[in-house]
Structure 1
């Protein structure tokens, strides 16, 4: 855990810094611990009105069953962010209408 401090939380948010490119820090096998996300967030930098980096760590474990042998089934795992209250209205409502020669969507 000293070298994999990013695993302490599932979601991290940092202001963009071109030198911060790996959750583990630049040399994960050579530092004594604390590099990467724990170091990036240590100073509690402001994230308002700046470009952000969202770091997400997902752990997935497959518990095999007798039915999985000799061919394992596909298991899916995913992540998505959905805004809540980010816009006042649906931004698609601001798209101008299409104008078709015959007045229909399909020609």
Structure 2
């Protein structure tokens, strides 16, 4: 199976099962989409760009996404600050391509 396909299938199964039992509850995903949480760099961006469209069926099933804006790359250096800013901007842009509603989280 291609990378990401089994995850998408499992997410869809869980979301649909949860919705059957709790039809009035809003369902969202945190940190699952877009893929860019770990190891963001200029070279990994192309990998994430290929993975993220595979999550379109998941986007159609949830009410919102919450991209994680992890700040563990922030190390007090200008390079760390810049890497975090690029990662965060990418996460928000990639999320907007999949869903209209999203909530941003910044974690420490």
Q: TM-score range by the shorter chain?
A: under 0.3
Query: In terms of Rg, which structure is larger?
Result: 1
Q: Which has the higher helix share?
A: 2
Q: TM-score, normalised by structure 1?
A: 0.25
